[in-house]
Structure 1
């Protein structure tokens, strides 16, 4: 997008926080269901009891589930720019220039979303900028945009100065 676009093709519409949350919620339901099924098949139960230290045994589920989320988001957002939730809501992850993000940017963004989401979002709201980025989106140079308003790269018309 370094070349100038003509007409309405020059706008990128940033996704609203509410749309991003709904996409995340859809992904959360999908991955949590898969994680719970894997745990049930592995241990024969999803019932948790206190361990001898008084800690909930379910806390152990946090790390593998977060890793599953991380893998899911990295693969889908790097390959297509969309998870299932983003696809349903017509959202896509792009780099700050509107192009396909680099793997490093996706890894950074997905790390924050998978392991530190509450801090990532709250700090993003407090320190937000005009691009509606979470902190790890900003660190990874990624933004979430609306697809229906985002032109297909094959439809882009470039002009020279």
Structure 2
């Protein structure tokens, strides 16, 4: 028989899509500012010219920025479970069992956010499950929850906010 308060610690509140968006927005502003500063320092201005007029040449700056996003999310979410945006919004990424996610799971989740976010989110909304996972969260066995000072729990029950 479980103690009366043990059921409380086994419930995790799933993060709302809006809370996740605002956490992403904070992270986006941070990384975009860093990326812009790097481009400015590298080219002396934000209006740099590259030879050619193809789609790839015109949009080449998105590749290093996406790599920067990928590294940011991977390192912070693997090391502490939160980015600056998630910390501000009181969110944390965990694995499906309520424990610290694996590096592989974090990398899969981060890849979706960094390189394929619109597709990842839209398909996540369409094919959403009871755990409010984006497609790459599902592939990485991760879920985003509201923080309550818990690192891991057993016998988890996910609740929607």
TM range (shorter): 0.7 to 0.9
Q: Note closer, same or farther for the CA distance 1:57–1:47 as it changes in structure 2 (3 Å cut).
A: farther
Alignment of 1:6 onto 2:19:
no
Asked whether the 8 Å contact 1:14–1:132 carries over to 2, the reply is yes
What SS is found at the alignment partner of 2:144? strand
TM-score for the superposition, normalised by structure 1 = 0.87
**What is the deviation of 1:80?**
0.4
**1:96 maps to what in 2?**
96
* Distance in structure 2 (CA, Å) of the matches to 1:108 and 1:157: 24
What SS is found at the alignment partner of 1:78? helix
TM-score for the superposition, normalised by structure 2 = 0.87
* Distance in structure 1 (CA, Å) of the matches to 2:60 and 2:26: 23
Query: Would you identify which runs of 4 or more consecutive aligned residues in structure 1 move more than 4 Å?
Result: 48-51, 54-58
Q: Which runs of 5+ in 1 are unaligned?
A: none
Q: Which residues in structure 2 correspond to 1:18-37 (within 5 Å)?
A: 18-37=18-37
What SS is found at the alignment partner of 1:93? strand
* Distance in structure 1 (CA, Å) of the matches to 2:39 and 2:110: 23
Q: Mean Cα displacement is larger for which, 43-52 or 18-27?
A: 43-52
**2:46 maps to what in 1?**
46
* Distance in structure 2 (CA, Å) of the matches to 1:81 and 1:152: 9
What SS is found at the alignment partner of 2:93? strand
How many corresponding residue pairs? 151
**What is the deviation of 1:56?**
7.9
Asked whether the 8 Å contact 1:90–1:146 carries over to 2, the reply is yes
Q: Which runs of 5+ in 2 are unaligned?
A: 156-161
